[in-house]
């Protein structure tokens, strides 16, 4: 199984606009072959001293049946459309991709 943690930093004050676009894409991704989990998350204030709270960050927690399924997902037409729609909202995307052992 492939695990992905995608961290998206959006322009200050634009998170809700970004989330609206993302949420319209979520059902399309979840319907893809090989998608086990695709869950957007946002920071929650906990008061834990080590936490670095970022209000302009969205983290996608993903699970895929295989690397092939993930690579197909990245080329899906709805993902290309999603990237086009959020291009002016996103400052940075970073990916952590791991495999179950």
The ranges assigned to domains in the chain are 2-99
Which CATH number describes the domain made up of 2-99?
3.30.70.100
Instruction: Return the ∠ at Cα 10 (arms to 6 and 15), rounded to 5°.
Output: 100
pTM higher than 0.75, yes or no?
yes
Q: Look up residue 101 and give its DSSP letter.
A: -
Q: Helix H segments across the chain? A: 15-30, 67-74, 77-86
32-88 pLDDT tens trace: 999 999 999 999 999 999 999 999 999 999 999 999 999 999 999 999 999 999 999
């Amino acid at each position: 199984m492939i695990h992905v943690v995608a961290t998206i930093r959006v322009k200050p004050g634009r998170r809700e606009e970004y989330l609206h676009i993302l949420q319209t894409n979520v059902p399309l991704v979840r319907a893809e072959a090989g998608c086990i989990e695709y869950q957007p998350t946002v920071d929650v204030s906990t008061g834990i001293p080590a936490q670095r709270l970022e209000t302009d960050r969205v983290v996608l927690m993903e699970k895929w049946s295989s690397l092939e399924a993930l690579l197909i997902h990245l080329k899906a037409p709805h993902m290309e459309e999603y990237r086009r729609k959020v291009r002016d909202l996103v400052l940075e995307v970073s990916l952590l991709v791991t495999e179950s052992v």
